[in-house]
Amino acid sequence: MQRTRIKICGLTREEDVLAAVQAGADAVGFVFYDKSPRYVTPQRAAELSALLPPFVTPVGLFVNAGAAAVAATVAAAPLSLLQFHGDESAQDCAAAAQAAGRAFMRVFRVKPDTSGAELLEYERLCRASSGLFSGLLLDTFVDAYGGAGKVFDWSLIPKDLAHRAVLSGGLSVQNVTGAVASVRPYAVDVSSGVERAKGIKDARLIAEFIRGVRAADATFEKDPHHENPA
């Protein structure tokens, strides 16, 4: 069975980290953007990361942070993967990843007029910039940094990109099964869709979200010839 990986992002509390782990999350995300209501300090991220068992990946989300700041954060918090969510160029991301000695994801904020060719070209540029590039995370374009809980048109994602991309943007218990079944991404990333308040996760929603992803995976197992309609 193809198993879609799952990241729960924007964690700020011990109980939310434990809920994500218990429900079967593959990764958890910590936000190091101080204008976000989900912001945590590197020291707080280190405390929360100490609760993680082996093979659950701690990911650090950065917005327009310089290479030195990223490296300093990684020195204080045991992050395994970086996620760049601002206006960083591919070269900026590569430099910060090199300074920190960590692989990175780059967020592409998808607009209504984004083309599949544009997504593939951006992935190519990021991959050419650094051997530390891990993949694209596709989110919805809004006039702010970080997610806004809004969905973009999934049909814009090229079939030959979807299977190695991380799908984000407005995912929730209500729509994640359909999203995974139609897009077949490598992974999904959720934050506000499993919250009861900004930065406060809901253990029941986390568990239901992960069950929704697994339901789509099970459907794909029954129909291995299922095609991405994009």
User: Active-site positions?
Assistant: 9, 139
Residue 109 to residue 114: CA distance in whole angstroms:
9
Residue 139 to residue 148: CA distance in whole angstroms:
9
**End-to-end Cα, the chain, rounded Å:** 22
What 3-state DSSP class applies to 158? coil
Residue 109 to residue 206: CA distance in whole angstroms:
24
Residue 211 to residue 162: CA distance in whole angstroms:
21
Question: Is the alpha carbon torsion for 37, 38, 42, 47 positive or negative?
Answer: positive
CB neighbourhood size of 15 (10 A) = 12
CB neighbourhood size of 149 (10 A) = 15
DSSP state of 148: -
